[in-house]
Chains A and B, each alone.
Chain A
Amino acid sequence: MTQDEIFEKVTKILTPYVKNQEALDSVGMDTHILDELKVNSARLVDVVLEFEDAFDIEIADEDVDSVETVGNAVELISAKLN
């Protein structure tokens, strides 16, 4: 899977949780998940579970701590797929 495909899928999974539609419209690798997309931090657990299901991978709790931007998520998933 290419980084672009991962990015598309990640953005799609994040979409229902995004409270800032403008930030979503201009989303990029640098977009901050909590501060810019305004995803409720309480729901991050659910987002991670969806990543695991969608990409058939396992994401440890320590890995999640380092994910702040969409790009961080894409790179983390990419590393696990390769």
Chain B
Amino acid sequence: MSERPAETRVVVTGLGVVAPNGVGVEEFESALRSGRSGIRAHERMAELGFGSRVAGVPQGTDALAEKHFDEELLRAMNSSHRYASIAALDAWRSAGLSRPGPDEDAVDWDTGCVIGTGIGGMDTTASRVVPLVDAKKVRRLGSTVVEQVMASGVSARVAGLLALGNQVTTNSSACSTGAEAVAFGVERIRRGEAKRMLCGGVEGESEYIWAGFDSMRVLCRGFNDEPERASRPLSASAGGFVAAAGAGLLMLESEASARERGATIWAEVAGIAVNCGGQRAGGSMTAPNPDGVRRCIRQALDDASIAAEQVGALNGHLTATGADPKEVDSWATALGAAPGELPPITSTKSMIGHTLGAAGAIESIACVLMLAGGFVHPSLNSEDVHPEIEPHAGSIPHVELAKPDLDVVAKASFGFGDVNTCLVFRRADR
């Protein structure tokens, strides 16, 4: 555990994940260990003439949603609502809490949520609001549209399911959203303003969400016939990221509260840092300022009171764009690691694609699972390492790497806008 006083230490007591390669913690962990990809051919993208025709989409979620939510609720839940709600129920149960009934009046004033999204309910906007309004059929929209379209819909939905009474909000910082949500939750708990915060992010499945990325040519279009090979972070043949959807939620809790109720502690969130590179000195709307990245990493380590040498593994942002080599260089510089000294570095996106608003959270869950299980998951499709990353090739696992003494994992997410979040997870006392 960190040196922070016990009252302000924040730990993880529950996990809920809806990922393209696994729904539920068990399935997700098994996929991570075995290197199972969740990228598949996407029919609609092909029909519509997208350049990239593969995507990472969680499977079986409608059947699960029908099991957990009544018909009236389902009519007001688009894909992002379903992913977030399934993950929320899982995280809640995993934290040892029971789902409150809709008719019970008790509110949990000590628990809130920060559930972010990058794009929001664009799928509902595009498939219902725009066509009906343009056709002058406004009254056909019905009462469920606003709550699905509004960015905060996902956090509001979960709050209603779980009777949350502390802060309930949605953050948004593009690809760093899911990790930033964790940082917000940690801060609130450290200040003593909440005992528990359910934090993470979600992104729905919709070609309308992905269209802009395809037009910018940042989605990989070279492996449409071999979906599982399409997401290639760290590799010489990386061709852009793979669009994906899903949700990841972590139950963050003060260590004091966790111990008081005998909750299982998965890991500690020992350090956090968020900043922006100002879109200067190499940074832009779509590329990070390397100096900003390094500052963020170092700040997170300082916040955790951890020295660079103590970091046992890295879970990078690593999307398979041209930014990967610069990112590895930033990690090495921030940690003062010469070639051969960089801790194992992996990209969860190699298996699940880029889940946008959910990415930082789903990938943080991977970090927690790696810490709890003492392993580092493989980074798929990176055997042909990018020449600029070659000096650090030995740090990239291509199969599951057993690391029973793994104590610290650093996670970073960098978003459009040159916004950065770095989280430092530490093993819970065994």
Q: Is the CB of B75 within 8 A of A49?
A: no
Q: Is A17 an interface residue (CB 8 A)?
A: yes
Q: Is B136 an interface residue (CB 8 A)?
A: no
Residues of chain B in range 32-86 having any CB-CB distance to chain A below 8 Å: 70-72, 75
Q: Is the CB of A49 within 8 A of B142?
A: yes
Q: Is B140 an interface residue (CB 8 A)?
A: yes
| Nearest neighbor of B70 in chain A, beta-carbon distance | A16
Q: Is the CB of A16 within 8 A of B71?
A: yes
Q: Is A46 an interface residue (CB 8 A)?
A: yes
Q: What are the interface flags for A18-56 relative to B under an 8 Å C-beta threshold, 1 for contact and 0 otherwise?
A: 000000000000000000000010111110010000000
Q: Which residues of B contact A45 (CB under 8 A)?
A: 139, 142-143
Main secondary structure of the interface of B (DSSP, over half): loop
Q: What are the interface flags for B141-175 relative to A under an 8 Å C-beta threshold, 1 for contact and 0 otherwise?
A: 01110000000000000000000000000000000
Within the assembled complex, what's the spacing in Å between the Cα atoms of A43 and B71? 13
Within the assembled complex, what's the spacing in Å between the Cα atoms of A49 and B140? 7
| Nearest neighbor of A49 in chain B, beta-carbon distance | B142
A54 CB, min distance to chain B CBs, angstroms? 14
A64 CB, min distance to chain B CBs, angstroms? 11
| Nearest neighbor of A41 in chain B, beta-carbon distance | B143
B55 CB, min distance to chain A CBs, angstroms? 31
B202 CB, min distance to chain A CBs, angstroms? 24
Within the assembled complex, what's the spacing in Å between the Cα atoms of A42 and B72? 12
Q: Which residues of A contact B72 (CB under 8 A)?
A: 16-17, 40, 43
Q: Is the CB of B142 within 8 A of A46?
A: yes
| Nearest neighbor of A18 in chain B, beta-carbon distance | B72
B78 CB, min distance to chain A CBs, angstroms? 15
Q: Is the CB of B143 within 8 A of A42?
A: yes
Within the assembled complex, what's the spacing in Å between the Cα atoms of A27 and B310? 68
Q: Which residues of B contact A42 (CB under 8 A)?
A: 143
Interface centre among B70, B71, B142 (most CB of A within 10 A): B142
- Residue in contact with A43 in the complex, picked from B70, B139, B140, B143, CB distance below 8 Å: B143
Within the assembled complex, what's the spacing in Å between the Cα atoms of A38 and B139? 23
Within the assembled complex, what's the spacing in Å between the Cα atoms of A40 and B76? 13
A30 CB, min distance to chain B CBs, angstroms? 23
A62 CB, min distance to chain B CBs, angstroms? 13
| Nearest neighbor of B144 in chain A, beta-carbon distance | A46
| Nearest neighbor of B103 in chain A, beta-carbon distance | A19
Q: Which residues of B contact A43 (CB under 8 A)?
A: 72, 143-144
Given contact pairs A49-B140, A49-B142, a sample of 7 additional A-B residue pairs in the complex whose CB atoms are under 8 Å apart: A43-B72, A43-B143, A43-B144, A44-B143, A45-B143, A46-B142, A46-B143
Selected A-B contacts with CB under 8 Å, 20 pairs:
A16-B70, A16-B71, A16-B72, A16-B75, A17-B72, A40-B72, A42-B143, A43-B72, A43-B143, A43-B144, A44-B143, A45-B139, A45-B142, A45-B143, A46-B75, A46-B142, A46-B143, A49-B139, A49-B140, A49-B142
**Top 4 A-B pairs, shortest CB-CB distance:** A16-B71, A46-B142, A45-B143, A16-B72
